A and B are shown apart, each in its own frame.
Chain A
Amino acid sequence: MLRMVFAALSGGLFGAGLLVSGMVDTTKVQGWLDVFGAWDPTLAFVLGGAIIPMAIAWRVAARRRTALLGDTILPMNTAPLDKNIALGSVLFGIGWALAGLCPGPAMASLFFGGWGGLLFFFAMAAGMYVAPQVSQKLNHPTATA
């Protein structure tokens, strides 16, 4: 139960931060990516601001094995870069530029994003649903099923 309470608090604070920072506004995100147009540097302030408390949190986490509610804090994934992370990030970047939404803001804006926001959310969810099959095809191209 406590896990759910703190998960909801964390999600709520995340969503409030996305709203306050303006990252639910697709024109701000597209403005950040539009380096050769009317460039909007706001996203750099958001990312910079977000990294500060999180860098402190990683330092605290390094000195303890478990989180406050008892779970083990997983060590960093040091696997070498592979085609999944490379291709996935490129596809994500293309989609991000097209609509100006990434998964966090897509959820945070569901209540006020209108039909366009809902359509994006369901398309994104569909993409997430088929992603394991895409990954399977990518890594085992000869396998059937």
Chain B
Amino acid sequence: MIQDAWIFGLIGGLMIGSAAALYLLVNGRIMGASGILGGLIDGSARKDMFERVAFIAGLVIVPGVLALLMGGAQTNITSNPVVIIAAGLLVGIGTRLANGCTSGHGVCGISRLSLRGIAATLLYLLAGGLMMVLFRHILGVI
């Protein structure tokens, strides 16, 4: 039984992959969200600074405007500030240490059959799955 959410997932996924393809074939860059932002934050970005800022501007503004036209969108994020801060710090440190996240290692790495991308993706999926068991089913905090 195919659900609407899966079809929207597939359509959205095709859009995400097309965006990554555009960034690779036109700009010659790998579309990794953590790398593009992280390079701006830790100062490792140099002459491609404005390109990164433009990418992020599109990434923030387009879904923001679309959500407005659609009458709003929900992230349903937890209201526990301690959980949010811990999660944000872990995602920030982790993606920069690993040199990639879901977009860089996941989308761009797997599609290239990169060993590093595949290994990173398996590790963060495994860690995430185990943490859901711990935090949701054992501790009940999320």
The answer to whether A47 touches B13 (Cβ under 8 A) is yes
| Residue from A10, A18, A67 in contact with B12 in the complex, judged by beta carbons closer than 8 Å | A18
- Known pairs A7-B29, A10-B22. 5 more at Cβ < 8 A? A10-B31, A17-B18, A54-B24, A71-B29, A94-B90
Contacts of B135 on A, CB cut-off 8 Å?
97-98
Sort chain A's interface into a size bin.
Answer: 35 or more
The verdict on A102 contacting B132 (CB below 8 Å), with A22-B5, A69-B26, A95-B89 known, is no
Distance (whole angstroms) from the CB of B66 to the closest CB of chain A: 6
Q: Chain A contact residues: over half helix, strand or loop, or mixed?
A: helix
Contacts of B142 on A, CB cut-off 8 Å?
30, 97-98
Q: Chain B contact residues: over half helix, strand or loop, or mixed?
A: helix
Nearest residue (CB) in B for A73 is: B28
Task: Please give the residue numbers on chain A whose beta carbons come within 8 Å of chain B beta carbons, in ascending order.
Answer: 3-28, 30, 33-37, 40-58, 60-61, 66-74, 76-79, 81, 84-114, 116-117, 119-132, 134-135, 138
The answer to whether A42 touches B88 (Cβ under 8 A) is no
| Residue from A24, A47, A70, A128 in contact with B75 in the complex, judged by beta carbons closer than 8 Å | A24
The answer to whether A60 touches B25 (Cβ under 8 A) is yes
The answer to whether A37 touches B10 (Cβ under 8 A) is no
Q: Give bound CA distance, A7 to B124, whole Å.
A: 27
Contacts of B58 on A, CB cut-off 8 Å?
7-15
The answer to whether A113 touches B52 (Cβ under 8 A) is no
Nearest residue (CB) in A for B122 is: A89
Q: Give bound CA distance, A131 to B60, whole Å.
A: 23
The answer to whether A54 touches B17 (Cβ under 8 A) is yes
The verdict on A126 contacting B89 (CB below 8 Å), with A21-B16, A24-B63 known, is yes
Question: Can you list, as one digit per residue, whether each of B74-103 has a CB less than 8 Å from chain A (1) or not (0)?
Answer: 111111010111111111111111110111
- Highest count of chain A CB atoms <10 Å: which of B51, B58, B61: B58
Q: Give bound CA distance, A115 to B20, whole Å.
A: 29
| Residue from A5, A88, A93, A110 in contact with B131 in the complex, judged by beta carbons closer than 8 Å | A93
The verdict on A11 contacting B84 (CB below 8 Å), with A47-B106, A53-B17, A114-B77 known, is no
| Residue from B10, B50, B72, B94 in contact with A93 in the complex, judged by beta carbons closer than 8 Å | B94
